[in-house]
Structure formats: C-alpha cells, structure tokens
Amino acid sequence: MPKKSSFAASLLLLLLSSACVVSNPYDGETFSTLTTTTNGATETGESSSSGDGDGDGDPATGDGDGDPSGDGDGDPTTGDGDGDGDGDPTTGDGDGDGDGDGDPPPLCERRRWRYDFEDDSWISVPLDSVWAGADAPPCDVEIAATTYIEAHDQLLVWTADGTYYRQQDNTWAAPEAIGDSFPQLANVTVNSATYVPPINGDLPQIQINAEPNAYFFYIEATGDVTHFDTVPIPDEEPPGPMQSQLIRTWAVSFGDPDLLGQAEWWTMWNRFDNGRVYRADGAFNWTNWAENQSPMFDGNDAPDPSAVEAGWGSYEPNYAYLIAP
C-alpha cells in the first residue's frame, strides 16, 4: 500500500479508530421527492384600441381603460401599453418574462443534477422545485457546500452569504448564521464538505474544507454540532491532489459501513480548481482526470464540472447530486 500523507493517515485513523471514514451518505431521494412549483399569476390585458362604448370617461377611444392615449393597456395613468401586468410592455403575453410561453421567469438558473453511477446517466430539475419553502435556501444564493447525514436524514447546506440550512425529514429548520452552530467557521470561506458515517455507535461526522484547513464536527440527530478537530490540509502523493496549493471546489462522498475493510467501502469524488476531478477510495488510493474526461463528465448530458457549486452522494442507490446551472 502506498505511503499516505499525514492528513490522509490522520483521517483514516479518525475514521477507523472511531470506526469510521466516509460512507453511505443518504438516499438523496429523501429530499428529491419534495417538489413544489411556484407559478406566477397569468393575466391578459385589453390590447384593443377600438371603442367599446363602456362610458369610462375617455371620449377619445372609448376602450374602457380611462387612458386617453388609446393604448388599450388597462392602465388609465401611464399609457405604457403593458396591459397584462408582466412588466413587459412590448409583448402583452402576460407570462412575466416576455417570451409568450405562459411561464413566469425562474427564480434562478440553478438546477439539482443527479448522476446514476450504474447506467452513467444524468437528469436534472430546477433547484427551486426540490428546495422549497420559506426556510429553504433561496435559489438565487450561491451554494458553498452541502452534505447529507443519512443516519439522521439531514441535508446540510452552507451558502456563500454566510447562512447555514438544515433539512430533516423533508422539513427545513429556520436558517441561521454559519457561526451560530459552527463558530470555528464564522470567519473562514467554506468550500466543500464530506460525510463520515457512524460506525459501532459513534456519531456521524463531517469534514468541512475551508482551505488551508479541514474542520471536523460530530452531528447529532437533534442537529447539535460539536467541533473536535482542525488540521492543515497537506498534499497527497501523486496521483492525489496538491491540496496545499489548491481549493477543493466541491466533493461527493458515499459508502457502505458493512463493507468496512474493503477499499471500495467508501468513495469520494472531488473537483479542484486546477481543472481536474479526483477520486479516492476507502484506502486513499487516488485517480484523477481532466475534468471533462472524468467518468462522470465525459458525456454530452453532463453539467459543466467547473460550474458545480456543491455536491453529495448516496451508496444505494448509487447516485451523486450536484448543484449547478
């Protein structure tokens, strides 16, 4: 077995001594089934300038809108021609974005992508269709990191504006400042997160990369958080990443604790800002590819790996979930 870096060795020791390393994170379908569609009201304005004789006080046009300009937009004060209330005076289509398709504009362009490792395929849905509700992360806010605690059915989300979100049993808790539950992260930039599953009664653990350090926390079923270690992130031996010189932009981890002792009991996929995707197994054997040539991203239906903001995974079914345009 190749010599491991001090970081890899300490992580392995942490996982194995507490009987854990990174593992079976979640059936992401737990929250993918939470679908809510937000639709804007569709209105149709009066667009005719022909007289309708309704006695609206407008003797010039008689179109019923009280607007002497005769534009027929239903607005007696401005005469702006926007009769449908969509803010688009040129089309009058009432769909809110001016393209006439009847749909309001999306909250944002972010999507939740799901990769199936079994059949090498991608599907995606609008992020605001699966992260819904007043306490869910807003779709127009950049996602800094995500991970899923399968043992507790908890999806954890950190956003770039310094907010922490937690979903449990398909219900979002009230958001809070990252520093409230994670004071060690209050003044650092969170870039990615991975899940360390509970083994032999231990609590689930997460690793959060805020370069140049990795922060380790226990996560309880109540959502309570306990910090237990912070270590510098050193380089891995090739073909691993030169982590002291790079930023891990996102990570996906999953595993099966019942397979502990086998290399494939845990798997982690990472993308670093050198434009490469790295895979590590439970023995910290590394492989890497140019990002668009990696097995997950070499198809025409894949998202742009450089545009991915965050990710998480599941062992069964064997999926990766990514947040990207």
Give the pLDDT mean for 270-288.
Answer: 96
3-state secondary structure 28-80: CHHHHCCCCCCCCCCCCCCCCCCCCCCCCCCCCCCCCCCCCCCCCCCCCCCCC
Is residue 186 located within the same domain as residue 253?
A: yes
3-state secondary structure of 302: coil
Q: What is the domain-level CATH number for residue 266?
A: 2.110.10
Q: Which of 234, 252, 239, 235 is nearest to 286 (CA)?
A: 239
Report the alpha-carbon distance of residue 35 to residue 266 in Å, rounded: 30
For residue 104, name the pLDDT band (cuts at 50, 70, 90): low
Report the alpha-carbon distance of residue 114 to residue 119 in Å, rounded: 12
Higher pLDDT, 7 or 274: 274
Q: Is 196 inside a domain boundary?
A: yes
3-state secondary structure of 164: strand
Strand partners, 168: 154, 171
Is residue 92 located within the same domain as residue 139?
A: no
At 134 the pLDDT is 95
Q: Is 256 inside a domain boundary?
A: yes
Range of the domain at 47: 40-105
Is residue 32 located within the same domain as residue 45?
A: no
Residue 39, pLDDT > 50, answer no
Burial class (CB in 10 A: 0-12, 13-18, 19+), 274: middle
The whole-model pTM stands at: 0.70
Tens digits of residue pLDDT in 187-210:
999 999 999 888 777 888 999 999
Report the alpha-carbon distance of residue 186 to residue 208 in Å, rounded: 13
Is residue 80 located within the same domain as residue 212?
A: no
Structural domain tally of the chain? 2
Is residue 298 located within the same domain as residue 175?
A: yes
Tens digits of residue pLDDT in 160-174:
999 999 999 899 999
Is residue 27 located within the same domain as residue 143?
A: yes
Give the pLDDT mean for 41-65.
Answer: 39
